[in-house]
Amino acid sequence: MKRRDFLRTGAAFALAGAVPAGASKHGRADEPAAPGGVDVGIARGSSMEDAVRSAVRLAGGMEFIREGQTVLIKPNVCGAVKMPATTNPEVLYAAIKLVAERGPRRIIVADRSFSAQFVDTTPKTIDVMKRVGHIDAVEQAKLDAKAPVVAVGLEDAAAEFELLGLPADTPHWRRVRPERATHWPNGFELAELLFRVDHVINVPVIKTHFQAWFTMSMKAFVGMSHHRARREFHSAWVGEGSLFDQKRSASRRRGTKKDPAAEAKEIAPFVNRIAELNLGVTPALNILDGTESFVFGGPSSGDTAAGKLIVASRDRVAADATGVAVLKWLGTEDRIQNRPIWQLPFIQHAVKIGLGIDSAERLSLRHEGLDGEIDAIQRMLQT
């Protein structure tokens, strides 16, 4: 993909669902969040870049970034498959530009690609980023916004350590033992680079996941953990089907009804461990890419639907709950569609360990460009 191509493609994608300029905001857009609550921005625009700008502004902006600081942007680079398996390059481009406007000293776009073999040597994240268009986004942001940005694979960050004033042989992974991570009695390892920057901005995709049910800001942060941690939580539950046949899950395809309580109990050990990985680092902002989503299967293959929207929030639970509401609005798997959002095991454990808000009443949903859909999405959040 040529550098300009992803911008033209993204603009056409968003225009297909755009609303006229000046369309009104949701009724709560100008009201403060409820006491103890948080703002969530959700937007559609004439391009995905416009949608990113609007959603981030509605969520409170990026004023937390000070001139001269270092910011790490984490897109979804789980494997060498283009969107919606990985973050839309136009969404990543827009996030880089927004950060660049705050005058940072350096912007690091980083992740760690998934390896089905759980090995440290392959695949190289930088090669995966090249294949899915993320390097094009980085290079285009350098040209258009003079962004001081570089792409880095977390497994190969020695050069960045030196630029940060650390020895090149600094260990790439740090073991942490958060008190509330009770499913990790020996702790887990996160990328050292996370602890050496001023801010982390998470840019995942809104999509289903054949094992974890859905993957957004909290699940995508698995990319910041070492493969040893991935191996450990995957051993807790392998799910139905296989990584290479994510749509097969025969019982879901046939519509076989499972006992909801038993289904939730079955998945809990898996998603509880994933949620607790988020206790290691708190992103300053989460920007969820809803250009196109897997609504069945996932994370790298499945049935898709195009929401052509962006969700943004500083609160991971609020962001993911809204992302799930988007999936339900689009129409998704029964185990998500027919279960209240706040009763999803992943959300419940995230709330229990203090990752974010605990109810829709504490979520102030602010929007632009979604007047025809916002009421339905709001209803999904309430049920």
pLDDT given at position 73: 98
* Distance between start and end Cα atoms, the chain: 41
Q: What is the mean pLDDT of the chain?
A: 88
Question: Is the per-residue pLDDT at 248 higher than 70?
Answer: no
The answer to whether the CB of 310 falls within 8 A of the CB of 18 is: no
pLDDT tens-digit readout, 264-321: 898 999 999 999 999 999 999 999 999 999 999 989 889 999 999 999 999 999 999 9
DSSP-assigned states of every residue in 50-112: HHHHHHHHHTTTTTT--TT-EEEEEE--SSS--TTSS--HHHHHHHHHHHHTT--SEEEEEE-
Residue 18 CA to residue 129 CA, distance in Å, equals: 29
% helix, strand, coil for the chain, step of 5? 40, 20, 40
Q: Under CATH, which number does the domain 5-16+39-243+258-382 receive?
A: 3.40.50.11440
pLDDT tens-digit readout, 15-33: 555 433 333 233 334 455 5
Question: Is the per-residue pLDDT at 369 higher than 80?
Answer: yes
Closest CA to 213 of 84, 377, 341, 360: 341
Sign of CA dihedral 214, 218, 224, 227: negative
pLDDT tens-digit readout, 149-203: 999 999 889 999 999 999 999 999 999 999 999 999 999 999 999 999 999 999 9
Question: Is the per-residue pLDDT at 350 higher than 80?
Answer: yes
pLDDT given at position 28: 39
pLDDT given at position 354: 97
pLDDT band of 246, cuts 50, 70, 90 = confident
The answer to whether the CB of 47 falls within 8 A of the CB of 88 is: no
pLDDT band of 124, cuts 50, 70, 90 = confident
Residue 312 CA to residue 308 CA, distance in Å, equals: 14
pTM equals 0.91
Q: Which has the higher per-residue pLDDT, 323 or 26?
A: 323
pLDDT band of 254, cuts 50, 70, 90 = low
